[in-house]
Amino acid sequence: MNRCLQQSLAYSIVLALSSTSWATTVRAFTPESYNKSLTQIGPEETKNKVRELRKTIPKIIGGTDAAPGEFPHQASLMFSSKYNEDSPGVDRHFCGGSIIDDQWVLTAAHCVSFMVGGLKYFTVGAGDIDLNKLDEYEIEGAWIHPFYDGETFDYDFALLRVRTPFFDPAIPVVSKADNQHISVGNKATITGWGVDATGQIQQILKKADVKIISRNDCNDQNSYNGAVTARMICMGLPEGGKDTCQGDSGGPAITPVPGGSNVLFGSTSWGEGCAEPQKFGVYGRLIAVRDWIDATVGNLD
């Protein structure tokens, strides 16, 4: 594994939580199948894995507080309050996600691979910018992209279906028509709770504006040296500094399209360092898997 991907484990620890063979062979899991296919994960083991994942939540540098209702599609992947009643949401959050339909959330595969086999211990939180005020939704099933590679983070996409519909609206997923208007240099907004400079998870949702970076620049030998695939898109600022770090793993990257509405076109995946020159955030490129999303969720258009 090259240095870039080794350091990307600061953003995701799928290799520490599950073997590569497990991560790459996971396909689609439903309530009927996941308990049959994997050994049930006990609550204490699950808590330990969540604690480890929380240690790697990335920073948002230069971000500002989101306004209430500004990003209603924002979701949190959390350890369920049923198994940790005395802990507030800020102590149970470990990844982000985006509401894309009334019962569906899109997130990163590396956030979900260790959950399979123990989905009852996790919930999706939504409905507020404050982690301690989120409504929790039980998870009914998990689908990890069949080509997900836990070493390279290629195809780092997963879908979660909750048991009851969300109260909050979904965000449109980028379409082929939308994608024609998404270009290098365009502004994008990333959101997430992330951690502050002291390493503490932030209770209030943060937002930051970044720019879309070309794959050629992101694959430069001074950046990620060829590690960025066609299923990835880079964002940040070439000079580093303010507003260049990622939000929560699995969390949204949105951009406006003609007509003024925002579309979801990226999901936080990996990166090297934080606010360093040429070390951009790397996101899952959703247009590359739009057909898989539609086949799993149903046509979103």
Cα angle vertex 288, ends 244, 161, to 5°?
A: 90
Q: Which residues contact 96 (CB under 8 A, 6 or more apart)?
A: 74, 75, 76, 77, 107, 191, 192, 193, 247, 248, 249, 250, 251, 252, 268
Exactly one of 76, 249, 267, 269 is catalytic; name it: 249
Exactly one of 101, 128, 154, 156 is catalytic; name it: 156
User: Is residue 156 annotated as a catalytic residue, yes or no?
Assistant: yes
3-state DSSP assignment of residue 96: strand
User: Is residue 145 annotated as a catalytic residue, yes or no?
Assistant: no
By C-alpha distance, which of 98, 171, 149 is closest to 270?
149
- Burial of residue 284 (CB within 10 Å: 0-12, 13-18, 19+) is buried
The 10 Å Cβ neighbour count of residue 37 is: 12
CA distance to 96, 156, 178, 195, 301, per residue, from 250 (Å): 5, 9, 21, 15, 22
CA Rg value for the chain: 17
- State how far the Cα of 110 lies from the Cα of 168, in Å rounded to an integer: 25
- State how far the Cα of 287 lies from the Cα of 299, in Å rounded to an integer: 14
By C-alpha distance, which of 239, 248, 192 is closest to 211?
239
- State how far the Cα of 79 lies from the Cα of 89, in Å rounded to an integer: 8
- State how far the Cα of 49 lies from the Cα of 102, in Å rounded to an integer: 29
User: Is residue 249 annotated as a catalytic residue, yes or no?
Assistant: yes
Exactly one of 73, 93, 110, 145 is catalytic; name it: 110
* Active site positions, annotated: 110, 156, 249
